[in-house]
A and B are shown apart, each in its own frame.
Chain A
Amino acid sequence: MGVTRTGRKPPRVGDQPLFRRMLIGIVLVIVALLIVAPLVVIGVEAFSKGWAVYRDTIIHPDTLHAIGLTVFAAIVAVPVNTAFGIAAAWSITKFDFWGRRFLLVVIEIPFSVSPIVAGVAYLFVYGLQGVFGPTLDEYGVKILFAIPGIILASMFVTAPFVARELIPLMQAQGRDLEEAATSLGASGWRTFFSVTLPNIKWALLYGVVLCNARVMGEFGAVSVVSGNIRGQTNTLPLHIELLYHDYQAAGAFAAASILALIAVFTIIAKVALERQGAGRVRRPALVANPAEKTQ
């Protein structure tokens, strides 16, 4: 018998060593410059004036208030959007009704709309120039340039996050399990909690994590509706802008480092959830060779 050469594989497209090495090299360099460098520079700038400045920025009442407000916005907006995402996914995937596809498109609109447009749109609903603004003002209800406005704008921006994770997954899973449970006499809630939820929990959590990250980081829409009142309606991203324009760059980066840390944790959570299978089911339109798959 000849010499054994275990594990040799015939070359696939793009497997010539030189090409492969060059492509990996180019890509890694760009990733380092475009993605890694910004993350690193945040840390470096945050501590550029020393640990004391960093600590003072973080424990400054305005920063703490901004953190508190950001967390509060997330505590309200994320559960509401989660409930909405589940309701939307349930209605769209478990039933056939007229206008289903249209509803899907409408749910996705916030993804394509500029956050500034979202903020302005809210101004024309609840602001003094808006549809309900004058009436609300008469009753002394303040939505814009106050916390409710911040939460509403955040909700708009993140409305599709949970729904878009659940819909393709629940579509792919079909209705058989739920129909079986119902035929055995389970109630709607019972069916949802004991049959549907266990199958979608990772995707649900995945949507929640991404939704949370976006709520905490939203800048454009919130900056239109918040009024930027320091110590009152300043979320963390707005506070960063304020410090930055006050020529307190180190302070701005210190505040930014908190959000950067949240971003890193979000990515870690995302990777962990992807290992559980979340985020895998895509819309059928994007799958290659549907013709081959349907054989």
Chain B
Amino acid sequence: MKIRLENVVKTFETFRAVRDVSLTIESGELVALLGPSGSGKTTILRMVAGLEYADGGHIYFGDQDATDIPVRDRGVGFVFQHYALFPHMTVAENIAFGMKVSKVKREKAAIDARVVELLRLVRLEGLGDRFPAQISGGQRQRVALARALSVDPKVLLLDEPFGALDANVRHDLRRWLREIHRELGITTIFVTHDQEEALDLADRVVILKDGHIIQQGTAEEVCRNPQSAFVMKFLGDANVLAAEVRDGKAYASGAAIDVSGMADGKAELYARPADLDWSAQGPGIPASITRVLDRPDGRRVLATTETGDQLEFDVEPERAVKAGEGGFVTLRRAKVFALG
């Protein structure tokens, strides 16, 4: 099912949660709505579900205007942030609920068979008789997914699906959700504030800020070509240096980067820690190391330039560096965004 949002607006009291958002999600696509809290991502998801009504604009499911269709008739599967499993029903009863209340009447045997099938899909065979309080967080998450899938939804919506889970469980479930999506091919939208989760999982990432879409594209597109300082910062660690653009070159702390086509003026230079190199001899930006943080996959070096800027970069685990040492930082690549 293709989903289209057209100039959607939502205001709560005086807070403008979503401002004029237009977005198209192709049938079968797996899309992440990524943004900090208050960016409007959950509100957009809830409007697609019909759990909130848009104040302005339209939401289309295929060719049908679904803006005013209530949630119970919209045919969406929704996985809630804290799962919202019915605590007084067993796992199997939770999964069967949607089929039991459906307008399409089903035989009890058919419902039971479908429950077994769904339990197998989410790899919870044998746990059907447990109550939600008796299973782990990761298992609850999978029950919530099975329950949402039980009504054969046209679109699957997940609100912070892994937010309440431990880091290692989260990793496994992420891969597993990707597999399920490939298997079922259902149009899926999920909301997250975790860039790594969005980049790992989604076909397309939609980055939101203050109720607007800031940028969207594949993981590769948004990572390689961030179009704003916000996206650059939000997607991962970045060093920031004040820069000056003159005649197609940006100058910052004595380094120069080619930015042909950019207008002259004040700007900011962004560089990922991996984009910086360290050498004892020049050329480069003179700096001295203030701290070294050892991590399993390398060494993170914190340094201060002569102009007082703080920089972070990574060196190989074997590299001998220590606090107090002087040297030079070279820029392998960087992004420059004009100020104002």
A7 and B53 alpha carbons, distance in the complex (Å): 8
Q: Is the CB of B87 within 8 A of A292?
A: yes
Q: Is the CB of A1 within 8 A of B56?
A: yes
Smallest distance from the beta carbon of B324 to chain A beta carbons, Å? 41
Which of B20, B55, B85 is most buried by chain A, counting CB atoms within 10 A of its CB?
B55
**Residues in A neighbouring B327, C-beta threshold 8 A:** none
Contact mask A232-254 → B, CB, 8 Å, 1/0? 00000000000000000000000
Q: A60 interface residue, CB < 8 Å from B?
A: no
Q: Is the CB of A291 within 8 A of B133?
A: yes
Q: A295 interface residue, CB < 8 Å from B?
A: yes
Q: A101 interface residue, CB < 8 Å from B?
A: no
Q: Is the CB of A1 within 8 A of B82?
A: no
Q: Is the CB of A2 within 8 A of B131?
A: no
**Residues in A neighbouring B133, C-beta threshold 8 A:** 290-291, 294
Given known contacts A289-B87, A291-B87, A1 and B20 CB-to-CB distance under 8 angstroms: yes
A11 and B70 alpha carbons, distance in the complex (Å): 8
Contact mask A260-293 → B, CB, 8 Å, 1/0? 0000000000000000000000000000011110
Q: How many residues of A contact B (CB 8 A)?
A: 17
Q: B52 interface residue, CB < 8 Å from A?
A: yes
8 Å CB contacts to A: which residues of B8-60?
Answer: 9, 11, 20, 50-58
Q: Is the CB of B53 within 8 A of A9?
A: yes
**Residues in B neighbouring A9, C-beta threshold 8 A:** 52-53
Q: B139 interface residue, CB < 8 Å from A?
A: no
Q: Is the CB of A10 within 8 A of B55?
A: no
Chain A residue, CB-CB nearest to B7:
A1
Contact mask B62-104 → A, CB, 8 Å, 1/0? 0000000011000000000010110100000000000000000
Q: Is the CB of B132 within 8 A of A291?
A: yes
A294 and B132 alpha carbons, distance in the complex (Å): 12
Chain A residue, CB-CB nearest to B10:
A6
Q: B137 interface residue, CB < 8 Å from A?
A: yes
Q: Is the CB of A1 within 8 A of B71?
A: no
**Residues in A neighbouring B87, C-beta threshold 8 A:** 289-292
Q: Of A6, A10, A295, which is within 8 A of B71 by CB?
A: A10
Q: B164 interface residue, CB < 8 Å from A?
A: yes
8 Å CB contacts to B: which residues of A1-31?
Answer: 1-11
Q: Of B55, B85, B137, which is within 8 A of A6 by CB?
A: B55
Q: Is the CB of A5 within 8 A of B51?
A: no
Given known contacts A291-B87, A292-B87, A295-B164, A5 and B132 CB-to-CB distance under 8 angstroms: no
Smallest distance from the beta carbon of B164 to chain A beta carbons, Å? 6
**Residues in B neighbouring A7, C-beta threshold 8 A:** 11, 55
Smallest distance from the beta carbon of B45 to chain A beta carbons, Å? 14
Q: Is the CB of B58 within 8 A of A6?
A: no
Q: Is the CB of B58 within 8 A of A2?
A: yes
Q: Is the CB of A8 within 8 A of B53?
A: yes
Q: Of B52, B55, B58, B131, which is within 8 A of A291 by CB?
A: B131
Q: Is the CB of A4 within 8 A of B55?
A: yes
Contact mask A98-123 → B, CB, 8 Å, 1/0? 00000000000000000000000000
Given known contacts A289-B87, A292-B87, A295-B82, A2 and B137 CB-to-CB distance under 8 angstroms: no
**Residues in A neighbouring B70, C-beta threshold 8 A:** 10-11
Smallest distance from the beta carbon of A8 to chain B beta carbons, Å? 4
Q: Of B53, B57, B82, B131, which is within 8 A of A10 by CB?
A: B53
Given known contacts A291-B131, A291-B132, A295-B137, A5 and B20 CB-to-CB distance under 8 angstroms: no
Q: Is the CB of A4 within 8 A of B71?
A: no
Contact mask A155-175 → B, CB, 8 Å, 1/0? 000000000000000000000
Chain B residue, CB-CB nearest to A11:
B70
Smallest distance from the beta carbon of A262 to chain B beta carbons, Å? 41
A10 and B71 alpha carbons, distance in the complex (Å): 8
Smallest distance from the beta carbon of A252 to chain B beta carbons, Å? 50
Chain A residue, CB-CB nearest to B67:
A2
Q: Is the CB of A10 within 8 A of B56?
A: no
Smallest distance from the beta carbon of A17 to chain B beta carbons, Å? 14
Smallest distance from the beta carbon of A253 to chain B beta carbons, Å? 49
A26 and B264 alpha carbons, distance in the complex (Å): 73
A281 and B276 alpha carbons, distance in the complex (Å): 56
**Residues in B neighbouring A1, C-beta threshold 8 A:** 7, 9, 20, 56-57
| B interface residues, Cβ below 8 angstroms from A | 7, 9, 11, 20, 50-58, 70-71, 82, 84-85, 87, 131-133, 137, 164
Apart from A8-B53, A10-B71: 19 A-B pairs, beta carbons within 8 A: A1-B56, A2-B56, A2-B57, A5-B53, A5-B54, A6-B11, A6-B55, A7-B55, A8-B55, A9-B52, A9-B53, A10-B51, A11-B70, A289-B87, A290-B133, A291-B133, A292-B84, A292-B87, A295-B164
14 sampled A-B residue pairs with Cβ under 8 A: A1-B20, A2-B56, A4-B9, A5-B53, A5-B56, A10-B51, A10-B53, A10-B71, A291-B87, A291-B131, A291-B132, A292-B85, A292-B132, A295-B137
| A interface residues, Cβ below 8 angstroms from B | 1-11, 289-292, 294-295
3 smallest CB-CB distances across A and B, nearest first, come from A291-B133, A8-B53, A291-B87
